[in-house]
Amino acid sequence: MTRKDKRKILELQDERLISLANPKSPIAEQFRTIRTNIEFSSPDADLRTIVVTSPNQAEGKSTITANIAVVFAQQGKRVLVIDSDLRKPTVHCIFHIENHIGLSNILTRQATLEKTVKITKQENLWVLTSGPIPPNPLELLSSIGMSALLEKAKNEYDIIILDSPPVLAVTDAQVLSSLTDGVVLVVSNGKTKIDSAKKTKELLESVKAKILGVILNNKKVQENQYYYYGGK
């Protein structure tokens, strides 16, 4: 890889991780507002495990997952991001870290959490990448091993944030939602259909998922300024 190629990758990382690259920007402030809203969404509950999902692909959920994790870590909390999208993982690209080993290896008992998590440039923030794409993602995510992993992670981290596949594409997000404390739904302005959003809500509620709130992505605020843009 040439120096120019590396620079392009770093520029892409900075563009997606706006809360880390430019914490004083208006967009980073919006992510801090989201953090506050999540914290106050269930005042009587201890939110330790949160799933971030969307109705469909390319609505920005992975980018938003990463930035929410960054602002929680900046608050001083120990945060673990888990890329539980075992079909089209993206988190490792956003953080520019290797994905040779990860969640799928742990769930098939080939690795342990301690030896698989990776550090990031943000203090207090760790990432568990997806690992190699398995032939049976749903079976792995619904296994006893996944539940055990989340319980183990709670002993090491204050907040665990899972980036999951889209709800309408596969049932993985529903399974993960049933294992965690709450769900944040990402919809994209001008892209997500109202019927798709309603159907997603129904599917999540069918497994008794606790929907903490909805993030409207790609919403134009004023000329040449957006709450966020791009990403998966």
pLDDT of residue 90: 95
pLDDT of amino acid 218: 86
CATH of domain 3-226: 3.40.50.300
Residue 77: count other Cβ atoms within 10 Å of its Cβ: 15
pLDDT above 90: percentage of residues in the chain: 84
Return the pLDDT at 5. Answer: 46
Euclidean distance between the first and the last CA atom of the chain, given in angstroms as a whole number:
24
- Per the listing, tokens 């030896």 go with 115
In the numeric block, which tokens belong to residue 194? 């109202």
| Per-residue pLDDT band at 124 (split at 50, 70, 90) | very high
What confidence category does residue 45 fall into, taking pLDDT thresholds of 50, 70 and 90? Answer: confident
Identify which has the larger pLDDT, 51 or 15.
Answer: 51
pLDDT class for 222, splitting at 50, 70, 90? low
Each residue's pLDDT tens digit, 3-16: 554 444 444 444 78
Burial class (CB in 10 A: 0-12, 13-18, 19+), 40: exposed
pLDDT at residue number 46: 86
Instruction: Please give the average per-residue pLDDT across 193-206, as a whole number.
Output: 97
Higher confidence at residue 43 or residue 72? 72
Q: How far apart are CA 30 and CA 2, in angstroms?
A: 35
Predicted pLDDT at 2: 52
Average pLDDT, the chain: 90
pLDDT band at 176 (very low <50, low <70, confident <90, very high): very high
Which position has the higher pLDDT, 46 or 105? 105
Q: Where are the domains of the chain?
A: 3-226
- Dump pLDDT digits (tens) for 126-173: 999 999 999 999 999 999 999 999 999 999 999 999 999 999 999 999
Averaged pLDDT for residues 201-221: 92
**Full-prediction pTM beyond 0.75?**
yes
* Cα separation, 197 vs 230, whole angstroms: 19
